[in-house]
């Protein structure tokens, strides 16, 4: 059996690392940036930290900020038109998954116009050409969109999130500058951090997991367990912020290459139906899915518990080690203020059957360690409700 690994050509890490941007742009011969971000990052001055670097270096750019929390087909099609009008030859994406995912979809369709309907990008699309070059600077410590071959776009007409998987979309350059994350509010820090934990855990127990991705996953779990609560409760801690910035990237290195499971399958419809923030949806669902998946991946739960700092896990019976891992996830989620039930985040009980059908059809379902069904997913939703 062969294992494929796709990562960025180049990545920079560390507070202030956005300073490398002009040199990398000039080295690559790029002339004008299509600057993809969202209105909130502009309003709060986060995007300006990157814009200032471009201004100082005299690098031209055009700003595109028509992006929703869960980006839509309209956001992408409007962005494609704006890119073509801009005269840009590369993309700078600044933001969380919303901005970077939108940038990926724009970049792919510009070079592969036969996918201009956007819906044909869902799943593993057979694109032939690399995206317009993308330089990604994340402002949240969670999605790892800057290192993955995935992006998610909402089809509002069909009320579904389309998970798109395409090696041609990976950014050519990633700059993980924790200073861009310092102003994240507590709630967003918690949600994106738990999103990163979900990535790491699902990557570790997915059917395709193997030696290299296990290494990434366990390191990410350990670092998130060490740094997340501090990043939430002491947002000025540069050590915690930088630790989370690196941890979420490491998790992305893993799951981008082996996929995820039904936590994500079940979270995606919540974003499509209710515009639920993706990290919150994942965080609420994670403990319930871990309980469901335990029969298929029990030996790995011991290592999850160990990575999360559970003491004495070596001497526990397997069932106790499974419980310890799930309880550690629940404890961290509670410490950072994540709701425990779906009803607390606006999910409607009468929608659960429709959500279960949508989740079962999600591209992430195939990677789940336990073979599932619509009925079993519906039961997990009901337990989580």
* Domain-located, residue 249: yes
Contact criterion met (CB below 8 Å) for 90 and 136: no
* Domain-located, residue 344: yes
* Domain-located, residue 284: yes
Residue 338: predicted pLDDT: 96
Please choose, from the candidates 119, 108, 104, the residue with its C-alpha nearest in 3D space to the C-alpha of residue 36.
104
Domain boundary among 125, 150, 180: 180
Structure tokens at 293: 């998946």
Host domain of residue 99: 10-180
Structure tokens at 376: 């079993």
* Domain-located, residue 144: yes
Which residues, in sequence order, are CB contacts of 205 under 8 Å at separation 6+? 261, 293, 296, 297, 300, 369
Shared domain for 163 and 73, answered yes or no, is yes
Return the CATH number at 92: 3.40.50.1970
β partners of residue 35: 63, 92
- The total of structural domains in the chain comes to 2
Alpha helices by DSSP H, 140-277: 186-205, 211-233, 238-258, 262-274
Domain boundary among 156, 180, 204: 180
Shared domain for 137 and 230, answered yes or no, is no
Kindly report the pTM of this predicted structure. Answer: 0.96
Shared domain for 40 and 171, answered yes or no, is yes
Shared domain for 109 and 250, answered yes or no, is no
Shared domain for 337 and 377, answered yes or no, is yes
Shared domain for 89 and 218, answered yes or no, is no
Shared domain for 89 and 105, answered yes or no, is yes
Helix axes 374-384, 262-274, angle to 10 degrees: 70
Residue 1: predicted pLDDT: 79
Task: Please list the pLDDT of the chain residue by residue as tens digits (385 residues).
Answer: 799 999 999 999 999 999 999 999 999 999 999 999 999 999 999 999 999 999 999 999 999 999 998 999 999 999 999 999 999 999 999 999 999 999 999 999 999 999 999 999 999 999 999 999 999 999 999 999 999 999 999 999 999 999 999 999 999 999 999 999 999 999 999 999 999 999 999 999 999 999 999 999 999 999 999 999 999 999 889 999 999 999 999 999 999 999 999 999 999 999 999 999 999 999 999 999 999 999 999 999 999 999 999 999 999 999 999 999 999 999 999 999 999 999 999 999 999 999 999 999 999 999 999 999 999 999 999 999 9
Shared domain for 255 and 375, answered yes or no, is yes
* Domain-located, residue 5: no
Shared domain for 282 and 146, answered yes or no, is no
Please choose, from the candidates 161, 157, 156, 148, the residue with its C-alpha nearest in 3D space to the C-alpha of residue 122.
161
Residue 144: predicted pLDDT: 97
* Domain-located, residue 78: yes
Contact criterion met (CB below 8 Å) for 79 and 38: no
Shared domain for 201 and 254, answered yes or no, is yes
Shared domain for 98 and 43, answered yes or no, is yes
Return the CATH number at 234: 1.20.1090.10
User: Which position has the token pair 């740094």?
Assistant: 227
* Domain-located, residue 4: no
Domain boundary among 148, 180, 212: 180
Residue 236: predicted pLDDT: 87
* Domain-located, residue 33: yes
Cα angle value 144/150/154 (rounded, 5°)? 105
Cα angle value 68/193/131 (rounded, 5°)? 50
Shared domain for 244 and 380, answered yes or no, is yes
Residue 341: predicted pLDDT: 97
């Amino acid at each position: 059996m062969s294992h494929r690994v796709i990562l960025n050509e180049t990545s920079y890490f560390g507070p202030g690392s956005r300073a490398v941007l002009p040199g990398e742009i000039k080295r690559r011969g790029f002339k004008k940036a299509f600057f993809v971000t969202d209105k909130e990052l502009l309003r709060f001055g986060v995007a300006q930290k990157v814009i200032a670097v471009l201004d100082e270096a005299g690098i031209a750019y055009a700003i595109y900020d028509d992006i929703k929390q869960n980006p839509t087909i309209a956001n992408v099609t409007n962005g494609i038109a704006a890119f073509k009008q801009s005269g840009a030859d590369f993309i700078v994406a600044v933001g969380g998954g919303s901005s970077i995912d939108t940038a990926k979809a724009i970049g792919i369709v510009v070079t592969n116009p036969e996918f201009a309907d956007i819906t044909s990008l869902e799943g593993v699309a057979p694109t032939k050409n690399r995206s317009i070059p993308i330089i990604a600077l994340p402002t949240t410590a969670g999605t790892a969109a800057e290192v993955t071959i995935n992006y998610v776009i909402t089809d509002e007409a069909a009320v579904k999130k389309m998970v798109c998987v395409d090696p041609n979309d990976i950014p050519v350059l990633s700059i993980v500058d924790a200073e861009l994350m310092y102003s994240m509010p507590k709630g967003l820090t918690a949600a994106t951090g738990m999103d990163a934990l979900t990535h790491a855990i699902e990557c570790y127990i997915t059917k395709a997991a193997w030696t290299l991705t296990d290494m990434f996953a366990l390191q990410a779990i350990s670092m998130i367990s060490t740094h997340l609560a501090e990043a939430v409760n002491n947002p000025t801690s540069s050590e915690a912020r930088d630790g989370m910035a690196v941890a979420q990237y490491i998790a992305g290195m893993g799951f981008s290459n082996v996929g995820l499971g039904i936590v994500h399958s079940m979270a995606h419809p919540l974003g499509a139906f209710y515009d639920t923030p993706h990290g919150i949806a994942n965080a609420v669902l994670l403990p319930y899915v871990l309980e469901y998946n335990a029969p298929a991946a029990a030996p790995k739960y011991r290592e999850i518990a160990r990575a999360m700092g559970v003491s004495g896990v070596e001497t526990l019976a397997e069932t106790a080690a499974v419980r310890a891992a799930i309880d550690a996830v629940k404890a961290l989620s509670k410490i950072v203020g994540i709701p425990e039930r779906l009803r607390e985040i606006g999910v409607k009980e009468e929608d659960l059957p429709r959500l279960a059908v949508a989740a079962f059809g999600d591209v992430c379902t195939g990677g789940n360690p336990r073979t599932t069904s619509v009925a079993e997913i519906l039961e997990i939703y009901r337990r989580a409700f």
